[in-house]
Amino acid sequence: MADITGTYRLVKAVARDGSGNPLPPPYGGNPLGRVVLGADGRMIALTCDASPNLPAGAKREYSSYTGMYTFDGTTLVTKVDGASDPSRIGSDQVRGVRFEDGLMVLQPPLRPYGAAPEQRELYWEKISDV
């Protein structure tokens, strides 16, 4: 089983519709994010659209949460105890995990983003062991 403890930076985000067809990239194609997975079992994740300017009327995509996590080699489960979206507090955030070309790929479940469901994959580069 891979040791996932460390600090990661978001390097790429992709999205597909429920049928697997490509969608425009999440976070305006300019993702910024960090995930810290501590050896003590606590994690924090944050993601956002890092575009310097957004089109008029557009909302900046932003999300963060923290909690204690478990990892079984293929699935990361975080019991959320703090979040930018209060509806996540008390929930289990489940992510599929795989490793590809030196990156950790996290895949949240298919869920609505905006008007339609999306399947996202977030590609993370390890930048520190802590």
Give a yes or no: residue 1 inside a domain: no
Distance CA 13, CA 82 (A): 23
Q: Integer distance in angstroms from the first to the last C-alpha of the chain?
A: 18
Give a yes or no: residue 23 inside a domain: yes
**Is the model more confident about 93 or about 28?**
93
The CATH number of whichever domain residue 117 belongs to comes to 2.40.128.320
Q: What is the DSSP string of 10-51?
A: EEEEEEE-TTS-B-PPGGGG-EEEEEEE-TTSEEEEEEEE--
Distance CA 71, CA 105 (A): 14
Q: What is the band of 120 on the pLDDT scale with cuts at 50, 70, 90?
A: very high
Q: What is the band of 111 on the pLDDT scale with cuts at 50, 70, 90?
A: confident
Distance CA 24, CA 58 (A): 15
- The confidence score (pLDDT) of residue 46 equals 97
pLDDT in tens, 74-88: 999 999 999 999 999
Domain, as residue range, for 113: 6-128
Kindly report which listed range (2-6, 7-11, 68-72, 101-105) carries the lowest average pLDDT score: 2-6
Contact yes or no for 13/119 (Cβ under 8 A): no
Q: What is the band of 1 on the pLDDT scale with cuts at 50, 70, 90?
A: low
Give a yes or no: residue 33 inside a domain: yes
Our count of domains for the chain comes to 1
Integer CA distances (angstroms), 74 to 37, 98, 114, 116, in order: 15, 7, 28, 27
The average pLDDT across 80-104 equals 97
Give a yes or no: residue 40 inside a domain: yes
